[in-house]
A and B are shown apart, each in its own frame.
Chain A
Amino acid sequence: MMMTWYAIDTWIVVVGCLAAVACALPGNFLVLRKMSMMGDAISHAVLPGLAIAFIVTGARASLTMFIAAAIVGVLTAVFTQWISKFGKVDRGASMGIVFTTLFALGLILIVRAADHVDLDPSCVLYGAIELTPLDVVWRPELFGQTLDVPRAALILAGVTLLNLLFIVIFFKELRISSFDPELATTMGINAGLMHYLLMTLVAITTVAAFEAVGSIIVIAMLITPAAAAHLLTDRLASMIVISVVLAMLSAVLGHLSALIVPGWFGYAGTSTAGMMAVMSGVIFAVVLLFAPRYGILKLGPARHSD
């Protein structure tokens, strides 16, 4: 099977890897805190933020929209926390109530303003990773060659760096407050503050990444690599490293399979974002079956408790 590979494909893979890593980093803590659906919730809930920013400024200026979306993303986490705390409602349910309500609000705003606004709700759900290499903002010279660095690559690199810094700086606090919030409180760590900081980070990551590459990659990469890593190790540091490796692997395999797999059945290529999610699922399935200690087949030596 012949396959043609262009410079564009390299950039798609690079952008995909950056998005995957940016999401996988905070994703570890979402999985450990049993808040995996937060990414999905935020990616739906930001609609009113986008709508308001667009109606107020009347332009698709991406910075205002980004800020508004990130604010609504954080609000989603805050409202979810309030409802589950004051109403004693299951966290999943309160998350669902908050994001459906916000989405409905955003939809009404958009439809009501449809006279003078051109904003397609579905553009929120489908960013297009295939189109990212076309938006070039920086052309550095490197070894006599001109690199066409796309905007998405720069943004996602920034977000990845931010997430990495946050995790390195607050590693101890994050670890203790994820596993044992009460212990964290007795040690003088503000578990509530850590929660909201983490949620802010998740909101920023989610919004930045789905604006660049679409929400499918975001939701998949927030959860799946981290969950697979959780099956492979008990140590938080190694879990994070493994999740980053698996996320990059999913991104690379995802783009390759988007180009190749449909060809087996006689079709042209298909959606890269979709296949990246599918590949992260395939990797998770392999890990789920064959993980030494926690896999279904339990291939590794059993742990002896003495």
Chain B
Amino acid sequence: MPDLADIYHVLLLRDYNTRLVVVCTLLLGCACGLMGGFLLLRKRSLMGDTLSHATLPGIGLAFIVSVTLGLEGKSLPVLLLGAVLSGVLGCWVVLLIRNHSRIKDDAAMGIVLSVFFGAGVAVLGVAQTMPAGSAAGLESFIYGKTASMVWGDFQILMAVTGAVLLLSILLFKEFRLLCFDEDFAAAQGWPVRWLDVLLLALVALVTVAGLQAVGLILIIAFLITPAAAARFWSERLDSMLILSAGIGAFSGWLGASVSAFFPRMPAGAVIVLVAAGCFLISMLLGKERGVLVRLYRHARLKRDIGRQHLLRALYEIIEADDPQVPEMAIRPVAFRQVRGRRTWSDSMLKRYMRQAYQAGLIEESGGEIITLTEAGLAEAAQVTRNHRLWEMYLIEYADVATSRVDRDADAVEHILGERMVATLEAKLMQLHEAGGPAVPVSPHPIRPVD
């Protein structure tokens, strides 16, 4: 085990070699996180997978061409150029297949991945038989060498990260439109196809720059996992992208540092695991779409619906007893009577009563008699009013039959916002007697109480 001094040494980037690796993976995580956010929203997360496999024929051809021309075959700029060109070609073919045929994104990506990769293997097979230059180790280009990055890699990554950041800030509005409503953007006259190609070209740039530094699997993970993790925390594109870039950078930093502590810990793999850990935590705890938050919201909605049903049942029973009295008076109602209004079990109704009692809406819970409080009556009137407004809207504007409007209104009324209620009031109250009762009369006969 490493001692504390070692940990301190690595985390503060004292060691030159570690410093380079950590800073490189941090930068790359940032750039990939950013691009991955766009890819995720376009439902093209696996594009990184396709792209990184599609670079192989370009690498092989670049080698063959430069050796044939009598140049040094394994010079980095030549190989990178070949990789970017064939990667972008691969993306273009994916778009071509997807835009011009019934084949969907996933199959198009799979076809390009396998066919380009196969072509790459075939080209490398040829390159290996070439008399001049040694092609050995070319295929390791795409499997990376995380632990042995050099100053040149750092420069390339700096340039690429800078370019990607700059372009995504400049074109943020266009890319956002592309991600959320492609058809609308096209109708507005944006060159959607070209924006799509540009976005993928940026992804290709990041992928190729990262590929020879950290390898295929890490790049694929970097393009998917931080973005998917960030999606749980925010519904807004800008904050999601910032978070995604942050998670990518964090995984790169922590993973590379941890792998520096232990002997024989491949940095790329550790970074992937750190990112996966971030994803799992986000999936559970995410503020907007996390599993726990969604469970909580669901439970709360169920509780609200139950309470509203209880209040409306009480209101309608009181109303039916004495429709002549203009002012609703609080009157005790028998449990059995409420129970008969809906298909709910004793235990469900008791639970709703307990919750209503805790909220101060009814006098006591557990007894055979239910009595509303003042606040309870006010809220019951409000709930009933919303229900009936919505029913009337459905009848007037959506042509729902009067006999089934109760059921239909039930499905939506609990999530009516204040603005929606105001709109309904404005639309409906002028149709009916102006200045009528605060709670409109039910448009359908209320089921007789047993």
Contacts and interface: CB of A to CB of B under 8 A. Distances in A.
A281 B289 contact: no
A219 B106 contact: no
B270 A216 contact: no
Interface in A249-298: 258, 262, 265, 267-271, 273-278, 280-281, 284, 288, 294-296
A89 B272 contact: no
Nearest to B277: A101
B244 to A, nearest CB: 12
A65 interface: no
Nearest to B274: A104
Given A97-B221, A223-B111, A104 B272 contact: yes
Interface stretch (B114-122, B324-332, B356-364): B114-122
A36 B110 contact: yes
A31 B276 contact: no
Nearest to A106: B269
A130 B191 CA distance: 48
A31 B117 contact: no
Nearest to B100: A296
Interface residues of B, number: 62
Contacts of A231: 101-103
Nearest to B47: A92
B217 A104 contact: yes
B101 A92 contact: no
A88 B44 CA distance: 15
Contacts of B199: none
Given A105-B273, A108-B270, A278-B118, A97 B279 contact: yes
A210 to B, nearest CB: 12
Contact of A111 (B44, B116, B130, B264): B264
A223 B107 contact: yes
B91 interface: no
B130 to A, nearest CB: 7
Q: Give the secondary structure class of A's interface.
A: helix
Given A227-B111, A270-B126, A278-B118, A92 B273 contact: no
A105 B272 CA distance: 9
Contacts of A126: 121
Chain A's interface size range is 35 or more
Given A40-B49, A88-B289, A278 B122 contact: yes
B45 A277 contact: no
Nearest to B140: A122
B109 A87 contact: no
Nearest to B283: A87
Contact of B118 (A36, A267, A273): A273
B215 to A, nearest CB: 10
Most buried by A among B46, B122, B228, B268: B122
A93 B103 CA distance: 19
B220 interface: yes
A140 B354 CA distance: 80
A39 interface: yes
B272 A92 contact: no
B45 A100 contact: no
Interface string A224-264: 10110011000000000000000000000000001000100
Contacts of A34: 104, 106-107
B201 to A, nearest CB: 20
Given A100-B221, A108-B270, A92 B44 contact: yes
B231 interface: yes
Nearest to B291: A86
A276 B114 CA distance: 10
A277 B115 contact: yes
A114 interface: yes
Contacts of B43: 90, 92
B101 A288 contact: yes
B125 A230 contact: no
A11 interface: no
Contact of A94 (B109, B228, B289): B228
B225 A278 contact: no
A227 B94 CA distance: 13
B266 interface: yes
B422 to A, nearest CB: 32
Nearest to B289: A88
Contacts of B118: 216-217, 220, 273-278, 281
A216 B48 CA distance: 17
Given A288-B97, A296-B101, A277 B110 contact: no
B114 A223 contact: yes
A294 B104 CA distance: 13
B122 A219 contact: no
Contacts of B276: 97, 100-101, 104
B265 interface: yes
B217 A44 contact: yes
A281 B123 CA distance: 15
Contacts of B218: 100
Interface in B95-150: 97, 100-111, 113-126, 129-130, 143
Interface string A141-163: 00000000000000000000000
B87 to A, nearest CB: 16
Given A97-B276, A107-B269, A227 B44 contact: no
B272 A100 contact: yes
Contacts of A104: 217, 221, 268-270, 272-273, 276
B369 interface: no
A216 B117 contact: yes
A294 B115 contact: no
Given A83-B283, A278-B118, 12 more contacts: A40-B113, A90-B45, A96-B49, A96-B223, A97-B225, A104-B276, A105-B273, A114-B264, A219-B114, A280-B115, A294-B101, A296-B100
20 contacts: A36-B110, A40-B49, A87-B291, A92-B106, A95-B46, A96-B48, A96-B221, A96-B225, A103-B269, A107-B266, A217-B118, A219-B110, A224-B114, A227-B107, A271-B122, A271-B125, A273-B118, A275-B118, A284-B111, A288-B100
Interface of B: 40, 43-46, 48-49, 97, 100-111, 113-126, 129-130, 143, 217-218, 220-221, 223-225, 227-228, 231-232, 264-266, 268-270, 272-273, 276, 279, 283, 289, 291, 294
Interface of A: 31, 34-37, 39-40, 44, 83, 86-90, 92-97, 100-101, 103-105, 107-108, 111-112, 114, 122, 126, 216-217, 219-220, 222-224, 226-227, 230-231, 258, 262, 265, 267-271, 273-278, 280-281, 284, 288, 294-296
Q: Which 3 A-B pairs have the closest CB atoms?
A: A277-B118, A281-B115, A274-B122
